[in-house]
């Protein structure tokens, strides 16, 4: 780069880096520090508006390390970027704007936008924030002018509140250290199930409609980055979407229960600290609120029907048992911390909505299982193949519409 930028160089199109995987997020601040140490870059940015967007992705970090670790690494990356750009602002006047690449599912950064903005680390929302709205969220939030206006007002209100009313001090060191310990244990438990369990990939491709979703014309890119069935190569949208369809929603909770269990096994007194974190730390409270919503939308009795699609019965039963056990640990952990035995106890309107929707939704799951079974047994030239395939696609659409937060 030395010598390529003269004193009059400007950039009409500013490069926006994206940090998405766990490794990317951990290296976000060092990479940006090295970038602005290049000769001429800071001066060029000063002549080009002096504002730098940095995009943070939620999807691949979740697929890498699970729900809690993804959110924690994003939180840490934001703090480190703010510290870096505070120094650059004092030196060069450079302003940071964080760009959140959120999706519809909780596993991809979804959930109530108002709460998500208020849960950002201190100093990261300085009068502005940038975020994406994707999938069915666009239709549900912005298809009608009045509803769209209401949602935009909510975003503006949250941005103003986070900027003007929230305390600027960081969370207590004990909170941060506990979150770090939870993240480490959560990622270990998540990766043990998803990446280190023999046959998990076979289970996933059999017990979810991932193969049929991959054939739908609903995305701009193929379901996998490479022509393999490796979880590492699978794109995050079909990964999360498939787990939602079979009513497990694994990317939205897996690992957290084991992390809390491990923490309390070493020191039972840590429960009081976790309860304090829930009461006083917006980041942790929002995380658990989203976890509560995801668990409320799971149904392992229905999920058990999808296990019937796994040809290796022993494999299917073994992996589903591991998922059930982690789900139970997560339920127990949430109960211990929040004190609420029932899901959505603090959100009765959503609880009522789910109660009214699910009697119509559950039969679609049972229908989908039967259609998947028939479709996978049929030859390609079977005369009823097209009708079965269309039935599967309709069931996918219906379940997604009923669950929401799926894309």
Q: Is 324 exposed, middle or buried (0-12, 13-18, 19+ CB in 10 A)?
A: middle
Q: Residues 63, 91, 297, 321: which is the catalytic one?
A: 63
Structure tokens at 261: 């269990």
- Report d(CA 337, CA 343) in Å as an integer: 13
Q: What are phi and psi of 115, to 5 degrees?
A: -65, -40
CB atoms within 10 A of CB 353: 13
CB atoms within 10 A of CB 286: 20
- Report d(CA 133, CA 61) in Å as an integer: 18
Give the Å distances, CA to CA, from 118 to 112, 140, 157: 10, 22, 10
Looking up tokens 């494999």 gives 315
- DSSP class per residue in 110-138: -S-HHHHHHTSPTTS-SS--EE---THHH
Q: Is 336 exposed, middle or buried (0-12, 13-18, 19+ CB in 10 A)?
A: middle
- Report d(CA 26, CA 80) in Å as an integer: 9
Closest-CA residue to 64 (of 214, 255, 242, 259) = 255
Torsion of CA 393, 397, 399, 401, to 10 degrees: 180
Tell me if residue 188 is catalytic. no
CB atoms within 10 A of CB 162: 23
Closest-CA residue to 142 (of 353, 23, 134) = 134
Q: What are phi and psi of 210, to 5 degrees?
A: -60, -40
Closest-CA residue to 248 (of 305, 181, 196, 299) = 299
Name, in order, each residue with C-beta under 8 angstroms of 399's C-beta and a sequence gap of 6 or more: 244, 245, 361, 364, 365, 368, 406
Contact call for residues 394 and 365 (beta carbons, < 8 A): no
Catalytic residues: 63
């Amino acid at each position: 780069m030395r010598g390529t930028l003269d004193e009059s160089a400007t950039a009409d199109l500013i490069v926006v880096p994206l940090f998405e995987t766990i490794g990317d997020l951990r290296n976000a601040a060092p990479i940006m520090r090295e970038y602005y140490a290049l000769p001429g870059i800071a001066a060029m940015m000063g002549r080009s508006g002096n504002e730098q967007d940095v995009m943070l992705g939620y999807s691949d970090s979740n697929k890498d390390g699970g729900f809690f670790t993804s959110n924690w690494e994003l939180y840490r990356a934001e703090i480190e970027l703010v510290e870096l750009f505070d120094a650059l602002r004092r030196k060069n006047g450079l302003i940071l704007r964080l760009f959140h690449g959120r999706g519809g599912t909780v596993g991809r950064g979804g959930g109530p936008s108002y709460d998500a903005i208020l849960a950002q680390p201190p100093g990261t929302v300085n009068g502005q924030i940038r975020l994406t709205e994707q999938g069915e969220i666009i239709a549900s939030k912005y298809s009608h002018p009045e509803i769209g206006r209401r949602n935009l007002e909510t975003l503006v209100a949250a941005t103003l509140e986070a900027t003007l009313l929230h305390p600027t001090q960081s969370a207590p060191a004990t909170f941060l250290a506990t979150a770090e310990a939870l993240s480490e244990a959560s990622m270990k438990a998540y990766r043990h199930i998803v990446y280190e369990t023999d046959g998990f990939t076979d289970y996933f491709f059999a017990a979810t409609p991932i193969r049929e979703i991959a054939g739908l014309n609903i995305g701009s890119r193929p379901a996998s980055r490479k022509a393999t069935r490796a979880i590492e190569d699978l794109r995050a949208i079909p990964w999360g979407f498939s787990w939602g369809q079979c009513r497990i929603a694994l990317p939205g909770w897996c690992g957290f229960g084991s992390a809390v269990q491990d923490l309390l096994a070493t020191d039972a007194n840590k429960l009081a600290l976790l309860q304090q974190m829930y009461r006083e730390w917006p980041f942790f409270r929002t995380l658990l609120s989203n976890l509560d919503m995801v668990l409320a939308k799971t149904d392992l009795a229905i999920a058990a029907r999808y296990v019937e699609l796994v040809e290796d019965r022993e494999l299917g039963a073994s992996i589903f048992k591991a998922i059930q056990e982690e789900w139970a640990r997560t339920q127990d952990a949430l109960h211990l911390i929040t004190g609420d035995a029932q899901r959505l106890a603090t959100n009765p309107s959503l609880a009522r909505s789910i109660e009214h929707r699910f009697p119509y939704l559950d039969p679609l799951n049972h229908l989908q299982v039967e259609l998947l079974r028939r479709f996978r047994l049929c030859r390609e030239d079977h005369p009823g193949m097209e009708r079965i395939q269309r039935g599967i696609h309709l069931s996918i659409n219906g379940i997604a519409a009923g669950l929401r937060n799926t894309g």
